[in-house]
Amino acid sequence: MSPKGTEIEKARSIVSSDPLVIERGDGVLTLINNDAPINRMSLEYMDALEAAVVEAANDSEVRVLVFTAAGDKNFSVGMDLKQLQSDAGRMRGFEAILDQRLRVLGLIERLAKPSIATLYGYCLGGGLELPLACHFRLAAREGAKIGLPELDLGTVPAWGGTARLTRCVGRDQALDMILRAKKIDGPGALRIGLVQEVHPLDQLKKAAHALALELAAMPPIAVAGVLSCVVGAAALPLEEALIVEREAVKRCAKSKDQFEGMMAFMEKRRPVFTGE
């Protein structure tokens, strides 16, 4: 994205019919599902989201992404099921729709920039699968209903939910949630390691933005290196993962940010990282 932003960037007080509203500033890109109160993940939303994530990946001014939704009722009830039977859904085809959603979540997960999701109200199906692809998940202390209840519809999670939830909370907790179509609250999600933090609902988005600013102040080259090691190399054998780590260290050693970090430490001041 250019420094001036795009046509879909709006103010925090959302007055727009766009399916995705984008806000940016201080290195943080906030992507808002604009379908209150239930914030379905429509075909149009996913098209806009894919374009925004691809742009953000290549925009050096964007250091952190925050995924949230309009209003304070629900993060998302997931896919707009009615669209699957609509003319638009039939024209695209079921397989193509699922392929796109898997592709977008894969892009988010592999970003060299941290991503944060806010979980509040209904976070069901795709409304949990998208946060599972993010690096940080913050939940509301009250009112959240988080789950993958696809078995109630006679099917299974289709956007990588089974795999990512298992990797996040372990086999037993994943089976308990999915096979029983359970919906857990924020404190329950924190207890099993599904989210890193819980906050009062009225402070959740502010907490996510504060975390985003904290992460945006970190050295981008080193951040990308950590993500390549912890996320990208997670499934590699130890010896191969150590090679990935060594390459990340070598990239940092050539950066101005590493010099700045060391000088700031010796001069007892806060470092200012530029991404160079």
CB environment 105-136: b (16+ within 10 A), e (fewer) = bebbbebebbbbbbbbbbbbbbbbbbbbbbbb
Whether 55 is catalytic is no
Of residues 7, 109, 129, 245, which has the active-site annotation?
129
Quote the radius of gyration of the chain (alpha carbons, Å).
19
Give every strand in the sheet of 64-69, ordered side by side. 20-25, 28-33, 64-69, 115-119, 136-140, 197-199
Of residues 9, 55, 150, 267, which has the active-site annotation?
150
Which DSSP string do the residues of 210-243 spell out, in sequence order? HHHHHHHTS-HHHHHHHHIIIIITTTS-HHHHHH
3-state secondary structure of 182: coil
CA angle 1, 68, 181 (to 5 degrees): 135
Whether 129 is catalytic is yes
* Active site (catalytic) residues: 129, 150
